[in-house]
Structure 1
Amino acid sequence: MKKIIPVIILVLTTVDGFSKCASSRLYFWPSKQTVSSNSIFVIDGYATSQKIIIGLGTTYKVYLKSADEKIKLNVQELLVGQYNLTQAVLKPEKILAVGKEYELVIENLGDLESQVTRYNDSTKQKEKIKWTASNFIDTVSPNWTSKPEFTSSSYDMYGCGPATFANFTFAATDNSEFLIKTTVKNKSTGKETTFYLQAVDQLISVGHGMCAGAFDFQDGDKFEVAFSLFDASGNITHWTGDKLEFKRPT
């Protein structure tokens, strides 16, 4: 069995390797610093940071701030994963101004304010979450050039528990960054869970790392999944045809 260790296993562990998990963290998308003027934004909250995601727009006001304006971010979707991960899809209440730099602000975080940062590989420093709006408005939906196919499963034990994934290869094109809207149905219980996943090297890894993840397979043996393409401007290409079946990774 080919071992595939997705990025989320790495980012949700502490610096001492795979021995223990961090207690909280936020993740922000799009990952590129230049976005379309009609961009949407996605924030994932891990472990205790899930309460921030659930409270966005109520307990925690969230907006984009430029030098001369604030643009409110409205929660379009709130998605609760099955293993220590919750996600919000946010849409600005108006189009971003071309050429302006916007900083993401989440109010009332107190001691958790330091979580609204990301690591810059070039400077080796944490920095505030900022995007610059381009003069491009993206209204074209992504396209599959090769629809997802099951390729392998993986189950690996680490310090805090297993990392388990069903892996699917695909190919797609778009004018913007895109996520994979993934809906998994447990055929034993009938329960469906939906989450937006980032693909890595044309690979969609459905499951969870040792610390967190969108999908958990403990309550069943047979599952089915549907994938839709969702780009950074909110354009979506819905899944058509039969769902893909897979078994619980072992």
Structure 2
Amino acid sequence: MKTYFVILIMYFSSLFAFGKCISKDYELLSNSDTISLESKLFFNGYTYPYNSLVEDYPSKSEFVIIGESDTFKLELVSTQKGFNQLQSIFEMPHDISEGEFKIGVIPKDKNIQMALGCIDLKSKNSCKIVGQITILTKTNNCDVLLSEGSGIITYQNTVSQLYGCGNKVYSEYHFAGFDTEKLMFEIELTQKSDTTVKMKAFVLASEDGVLRVGHGMCYGEFEIPLNTKFDIVLRPYYPKCGEYLDEYKSELFIAAHY
């Protein structure tokens, strides 16, 4: 009997730990709670070697925007892999208007429902709240951001260090003149030896105005293989305006001897 209770405790403990892990690591990618109606919504889901649950997440769940009286379903535009996580990109609903909203996920799969910690599994509206946003129409303020907010992207150096996740080797790109608190960056990498190999995703710049792309990176950072040449394109993007600034193009190569 004692052994039976020990097994039960271990089972429920593992469910709790697993649920905490997944629910914490799937989130809205945003450095501002204000988003334009013309913009898109980006969600990052971390992937793990021992679990493919999150990789199937978008197809087994409904992403919704929840207002005071209405719920709007988000339409999936695309998913991007290849940088430590799965990124899902959604169009803003066409029939939505300005206001304050919560963002939720309604799981269709019971395993995901358990992992997300949804309380009422029988309820159709049972969901996990993963973000809160204020949606605005594009204003004249965007014209100011787009005209005065343009800056310069420069390659700084390649760094090798022990940091958090192990031995990280990365190239640094610095942003001068950009308002990084309101900015996201779309990164597109194309392998030179095989142009069909592409990686593309949206990321946030760090608070110090630096974007780091490399090998051995932590979850949520852009991961690339060593000893492989890439063409890299960086496109500054303002979610508040739903528009890009001028792009930056260069080559990227990180050798194993760093």
Answer yes or no: same fold by TM over 0.5.
Answer: yes
Task: Give the Cα–Cα distance (whole angstroms) in 1 for the partners of residues 53 and 246 of structure 2.
Answer: 30
Structure 2 counterpart of 1:97, one-letter code: S
Counterpart position of 2:9: none
Deviations 1:49-76 (A, max 9, x none): 87446442x3101110111001111122
Counterpart position of 1:215: 223
The match for 1:133 among 123, 132, 135 is 135
Counterpart position of 2:32: 32
Counterpart position of 2:184: 179
Counterpart position of 2:233: 226
Identity of aligned residues (%): 16
Task: Give the Cα–Cα distance (whole angstroms) in 2 for the partners of residues 101 and 237 of structure 1.
Answer: 27
Structure 1 counterpart of 2:224, one-letter code: D
Pairwise CA distance, 1:114: 5.1
Counterpart position of 2:101: 102
Task: Give the Cα–Cα distance (whole angstroms) in 1 for the partners of residues 182 and 34 of structure 2.
Answer: 11
Counterpart position of 1:61: 62
Task: Give the Cα–Cα distance (whole angstroms) in 2 for the partners of residues 34 and 27 of structure 1.
Answer: 16
**Higher mean Cα deviation, 24-33 or 171-180?**
171-180
Structure 2 counterpart of 1:26, one-letter code: Y
Pairwise CA distance, 1:207: 2.5
Pairwise CA distance, 1:95: 5.4
Pick closer, same or farther for the CA change 1:187–1:136 going to 2, 3 Å: closer
Report the 3-state secondary structure (helix = DSSP H, G, I; strand = E; otherwise coil) of the residue aligned with 2:91: strand
Pick closer, same or farther for the CA change 1:244–1:219 going to 2, 3 Å: same
User: After the TM superposition, which segments of 4 or more aligned residues of structure 1 sit over 6 Å from their partners?
Assistant: none
Pick closer, same or farther for the CA change 1:174–1:152 going to 2, 3 Å: closer
Task: Give the Cα–Cα distance (whole angstroms) in 2 for the partners of residues 51 and 214 of structure 1.
Answer: 21
Counterpart position of 2:122: none
Structure 1 counterpart of 2:167, one-letter code: P
Rg larger for: 2
Structure 2 counterpart of 1:106, one-letter code: V
Pick closer, same or farther for the CA change 1:39–1:53 going to 2, 3 Å: farther
Counterpart position of 1:70: 71
Contact 2:230/2:252, CA 8 A, preserved across alignment: yes
Task: Identify, as 1 or 2, the structure richer in helix.
Answer: 2
Counterpart position of 2:116: 113
Pick closer, same or farther for the CA change 1:178–1:96 going to 2, 3 Å: farther
Structure 1 counterpart of 2:87, one-letter code: Q
Task: Give the Cα–Cα distance (whole angstroms) in 2 for the partners of residues 215 and 175 of structure 1.
Answer: 21
Task: Give the Cα–Cα distance (whole angstroms) in 1 for the partners of residues 216 and 75 of structure 2.
Answer: 29
Task: Identify, as 1 or 2, the structure richer in strand.
Answer: 1
Contact 1:96/1:133, CA 8 A, preserved across alignment: no
Q: Return 5+ residue gaps in structure 2 as ranges.
A: 1-19, 119-128
Contact 2:26/2:46, CA 8 A, preserved across alignment: yes
Contact 2:28/2:130, CA 8 A, preserved across alignment: no
Contact 2:180/2:209, CA 8 A, preserved across alignment: no
Contact 2:230/2:253, CA 8 A, preserved across alignment: yes
Contact 2:37/2:92, CA 8 A, preserved across alignment: no
Q: Return 5+ residue gaps in structure 1 as ranges.
A: 1-21, 116-126
